[in-house]
Amino acid sequence: MDVRRSRLATACAAGLAAVLVATSPAAATSGGPARPGAPGLGDPYFPTYGNGGYDVSHYDLAVRYQPATDELDGRAVIRARATQHLSSFNLDLIGLTVDSVRVDGRRAGWSRSGQELTVSAQLRQSQWFTVDVRYHGVPETTTIPSFGLEAGFMHTDDGAVVAGQPEVAAFWFPVNDHPLDKASYTFAVTVPQGLTAISNGIPLGSSSRDGWTTWRWVQLTPMASYLATATIGRFRVSYSSHHGRPMVLAFDVDLPPGLADDALGRTGEITDFLATYFGPYPFEANGGIVDDYDKLFFALENQTRTVYSKFFFSPETTTGETYVVAHELAHQWYGDSVSVRQWDDLWLNEGFATYAEWLWSERLGEGTPQEIFDFLYAQPLSAPYWAPPPGDPGVAELFDDSVYTRGAMTLQALRMTVGDAAFLTILRGWHTLKRYGNGSTEQFVAFAERVSGRQLDSLFQAWLFTATRPAYPGTTVAATTTASGVPNVVASLQQRRAAGWRS
């Protein structure tokens, strides 16, 4: 190990110690007798996601994966704090076989029921504890609800792609699987020599022994569990630095030469551009992964390391394919740093990220947010983005076009109502207020009202919770934009939606 890497590892260890304290939620103040933690957090769309009674501060994951058999052997050491007196607590885990469970170094009783691993333990409210779970099996793939795209732990010809939402983590490690319980992570992913394993955060190097290579990564800032990745394969990896942060770009070696290099090569430039609207980039690393897997049809904003489908890129295009990069990078602020409180708030992720594409379109000279809004507003109610209401689309249409496009239109309607200065203060201030935490629609509306000094309930009610076309914001009549005048960003979005891709 060279001196630079040794110093980096030391610095990361010190930073991780700070994160373990800083990201630990305050304990509940109520007492009472010991009782089981709730087997879900009561999310209105996914009530069994996550678990009650404790908060995780850190996951230390060590997994070994053999692509030839798809077998994974894992060990998860979880540091958490009880928020009530506990007689037992649950972890989410799907399909894999549990070999042993220890709590604070002692064997613990456990049972399985469906997607829940129930661990017996007597824990006092506010008590810190460590759970050590060893497990193995073939991780399952899943599909994105309402959309049918393969997601989760996807087995490829030379490894795996780990990406999906609203859940993916429970398919490869035991977890409190809801964005409300963020944590820091360390990863040690062992794969056959010759393969690369890419995870979130800062790369800490690799070591090889007996035909296996272990790749180590650390994610210091808190992360929602569905954003954790351990993508494995044969990659051409570029390690560089951007403003002192590691920049890791990985391209499947089976991709056509240069397919996505130009677009992903602009990651630093686009990050800097978005920072002028959203504030400083929130994480300790940046980058992206493009895999050759034929069944990967979406991009996902895995924290610090977006996973992209190869189908977003083409040798024949130039600037158009950077829209998806702008979208996923915007998620690092809105979705990753500021995460949803519950899944019906998803427009706060996707509306903001789609609006970032509109801002990038203006930077490219291909259409301003106002021009894009006016074009979309002029389309008939049969256009796919008018319904369902993006503020409550329902589980069946959670990833519908309205959540993305009409979500972005909601932000432009807000801008037209409160003016540019207040709107830009809202964009930046929302992230500052909720950084590394969670935010809801109600909280965003309240914040926008506080910044603008205006009552905005009717605006958000119309744009987020009605299935019809709202009144045009302000007093100006909407301009009519012909199909020949469609900004490139709209054409790009329409093409992706028609092909069934989501980002």
CA distances from 147 to 212, 447, 497 (A): 37, 32, 11
Q: Using a pLDDT cut of 70, give the percent of the chain over it.
A: 87
pLDDT digit string, tens, across residues 60-115:
999 999 999 999 999 999 999 999 999 999 999 999 999 999 999 999 999 999 99
Residue 362 backbone class (left: φ over 0; alpha: ψ -120 to 50; beta: rest) = alpha
Fold classification of 1-225 is Immunoglobulin-like (2.60.40)
Structure tokens belonging to residue 53: 């009674």
Domain ranges of the chain: 1-225, 339-498
Going by pLDDT thresholds of 50, 70 and 90, the confidence category of residue 475 is low
Pairing of strands 54-66, 97-103: unpaired
- Which residues are paired to 183 by β-bridges? 223
Model pTM? 0.91
Going by pLDDT thresholds of 50, 70 and 90, the confidence category of residue 323 is very high
Of 9-13, 350-354, 412-416, 453-457, minimum mean pLDDT range: 9-13
Q: Which helix (H) or strand (E) holds 210?
A: none
**311 has pLDDT over 80:** yes
CA distances from 109 to 40, 48, 234 (A): 20, 22, 40
Q: Cβ neighbours of residue 430 under 8 Å, at least 6 residues apart?
A: 334, 338, 439, 444, 447
Per-residue pLDDT at 492: 66
Q: Cβ neighbours of residue 446 under 8 Å, at least 6 residues apart?
A: none
Q: Which helix (H) or strand (E) holds 488?
A: helix 488-498
Place of tokens 């506010």: 126
pLDDT digit string, tens, across residues 128-184:
999 999 999 999 999 887 777 899 999 999 999 999 999 999 999 999 999 999 999
Per-residue pLDDT at 502: 55
Fold classification of 339-498 is Neutral Protease; domain 2 (1.10.390)
**449 has pLDDT over 90:** yes
Going by pLDDT thresholds of 50, 70 and 90, the confidence category of residue 14 is very low
Q: What is the rounded CA–CA span in Å between residue 91 and residue 117?
A: 5
Identify the CA nearest to 78 among candidates 9, 22, 128. Answer: 128
Per-residue pLDDT at 10: 38
Phi and psi (nearest 5°) for 184? Answer: -85, 165
pLDDT (average), residues 462-491: 72
Per-residue pLDDT at 209: 97
Per-residue pLDDT at 111: 98
* Mean pLDDT over each residue of the chain, to the nearest integer: 90
Place of tokens 């885990």: 93
Structure tokens belonging to residue 296: 């990967």
Pairing of strands 86-92, 35-36: parallel
Per-residue pLDDT at 210: 98
Handedness of CA 334, 340, 345, 346 (dihedral sign): positive
Per-residue pLDDT at 9: 39
3-state secondary structure of 60: strand
pLDDT digit string, tens, across residues 299-308:
999 999 999 9
Edge-to-edge order in the sheet of strand 202-209: 106-107, 97-103, 128-137, 71-82, 54-66, 183-192, 212-223, 202-209
Helices (H), 67-221: none
pLDDT digit string, tens, across residues 32-73:
799 999 999 999 999 999 999 999 999 999 999 999 999 999
